[in-house]
């Protein structure tokens, strides 16, 4: 169940006494920590590692897939800043800080870039300071909020982002954490309704229709041990999130093939990626 609290927000520099105190449930696997384990990070607990290993045994390519997802994020942000001229980002489902976070990639090209990070996991909140180390020419902020609270997110993000100018809404590896019953397409629509023409939507989403048997087994295993379930989706189901928008070439593809040079023909990952522009 989601509590629709107002999104809480921190900027740097925040005095130490204002740093949030977080409570972390270490007994059950959480996706942010499972993902951190797959990426080779250390911010995870026994329950997360067990869940992560269950998936690895069903679908060993998960390790290549999560690294490819980070690479896709980097290429998409680079494209948006360098070619589409977008330098505002609303990155929802940020995950634990790792190499090449959104603001680092964007500010390398356009130091004035502004990034609002959003995640609902307390351990991401605990590490959020690493996401707030902005180039002085730009700004970063972190919101402790749930994707399902779109109005709270948009209200708080408006303190950092100028919603009269294009914004890239980044939903990288997070929509599969929202079951169909919570209307993920409606959430995407509400976010895109709030941004002007020239804004972009970036999605990475695990595929249910590539290596379907392995992926089905991995998802079932994960859903038996995770605090929150995941929903893999087909190409057609992920494509629907882009309805009404213009997909940038090459469209919605396996994310390691999205503007990758060279795209390795041997790699075949069950993970879709796409970027689209609002007219
Ligand atoms: C698989 S990780 C992806 C991290 C990052 N976007 C990346 O691609 O490297 C998914 C992240 O989404 C967050 N998340 C899951 N459900 C969420 C929700 N309803 N609202 C906000 N964040 C959520 C998790 O806590 C986790 O950090």
Q: Which pLDDT score is estimated for 9?
A: 66
Q: Please give the distance, rounded to the nearest whole angstrom, from the Cα atom of residue 249 to the centre of ligand 1.
A: 26
- pLDDT tens figures, 127-169: 888 888 889 999 999 999 999 999 999 999 999 999 999 999 9
Q: Which pLDDT score is estimated for 4?
A: 40
Higher pLDDT, 2 or 101: 101
Chain center to CA of 184: 14
**Strand-strand pairing, 114-119 and 271-277:** unpaired
Q: Which pLDDT score is estimated for 174?
A: 98
Residue 13 has pLDDT above 50, yes or no: no
Which of ligand 1's atoms lies nearest the C-alpha of 95?
27
* 119 CB near ligand 1 (under 6 Å): yes
Q: Which pLDDT score is estimated for 2?
A: 36
CB-facing half-sphere around the CA of 25: CA atoms within 13 A: 9
* 90 CB near ligand 1 (under 6 Å): no
Q: Which pLDDT score is estimated for 83?
A: 98
- pLDDT tens figures, 179-219: 999 999 999 999 999 999 999 999 999 999 999 999 999 99
Tell me the residue length of the chain: 279
- pLDDT tens figures, 246-278: 999 999 999 999 999 887 788 899 999 999 999
Residue 64 has pLDDT above 70, yes or no: yes
Q: Which pLDDT score is estimated for 19?
A: 59
> Is there a contact between 222 and 54 (Cβ–Cβ < 8 Å)?
yes
Q: Which pLDDT score is estimated for 24?
A: 82
Which candidate, 28, 51, 25, places its Cα nearest to that of 38? Answer: 51
Give 53's pLDDT tier (boundaries 50, 70, 90).
very high
Residue whose CB lies within 8 A of the most ligand 1 atoms, among 35, 63, 93, 105, for a mutation test: 93
Q: Which pLDDT score is estimated for 17?
A: 56
* 95 CB near ligand 1 (under 6 Å): yes
pLDDT cut 70: percent of the chain above it: 92
Residue 15 has pLDDT above 70, yes or no: no
d(CA 73, CA 69): 6
d(CA 170, CA 188): 10
> Is there a contact between 258 and 78 (Cβ–Cβ < 8 Å)?
no
User: DSSP states of the chain as a string?
Assistant: ----PPPEEE-SS--GGGSPP-----SSB-HHHHHHHHTT-S---HHHHHHHHHHHHH-TTHHHHHHHHHHHHHHHHHHHHHTS---EEEEES--S--SS-HHHHHHHH-TT-EEEEEE--HHHHHTGGGGG---TTSEEEEEE--TT-HHHHHHHHTTTS-TTS--EEEEES-GGGS-GGG-HHHHHHHHHHTS-TT-EEEEEEEBSSSSHHHHHHHHHHHHHHBSS----B-HHHHHHTTTTSEEPTT-SEEGGGTT-TTPPTT---SEEEEEEE--
pTM of the model: 0.94
Higher pLDDT, 264 or 92: 92
* 62 CB near ligand 1 (under 6 Å): no
């Amino acid at each position: 169940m989601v509590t629709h609290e107002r999104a809480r927000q921190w900027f740097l520099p925040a005095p130490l006494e204002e740093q949030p105190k977080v409570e972390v449930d270490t007994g059950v696997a959480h996706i942010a920590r499972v993902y951190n384990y797959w990426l080779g990070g250390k911010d995870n607990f026994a329950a997360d590692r067990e869940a992560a290993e269950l998936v690895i045994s069903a679908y060993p390519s998960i390790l290549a897939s999560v690294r490819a997802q980070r690479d896709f994020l980097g290429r998409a942000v680079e494209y948006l800043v360098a070619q589409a001229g977008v330098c505002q980002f609303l990155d929802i489902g940020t995950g634990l800080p790792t190499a090449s976070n959104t603001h680092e990639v964007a500010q390398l090209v356009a130091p004035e870039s502004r990034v609002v990070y959003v995640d609902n996991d307390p351990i991401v909140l605990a590490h959020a300071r690493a996401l707030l180390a902005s180039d002085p020419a730009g700004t970063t902020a972190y919101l402790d909020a749930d994707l399902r609270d779109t109005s709270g997110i948009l209200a708080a993000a408006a303190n950092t982002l100028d919603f009269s100018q294009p914004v890239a809404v980044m939903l990288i590896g997070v929509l599969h954490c929202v079951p169909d019953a919570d209307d993920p397409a409606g959430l995407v629509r509400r976010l895109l309704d709030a941004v002007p023409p020239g804004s972009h939507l970036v999605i990475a989403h695990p595929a249910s229709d590539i290596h379907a048997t392995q992926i089905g087994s991995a998802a079932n295993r994960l859903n038996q041990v995770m605090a929150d379930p995941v929903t893999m989706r087909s190409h057609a189901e992920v494509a629907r999130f882009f309805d009404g928008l213009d997909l940038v070439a090459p469209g919605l593809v396996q994310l390691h093939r999205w503007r990758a040079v060279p795209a390795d023909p041997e790699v075949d990952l069950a993970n879709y990626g796409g970027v689209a522009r609002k007219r």
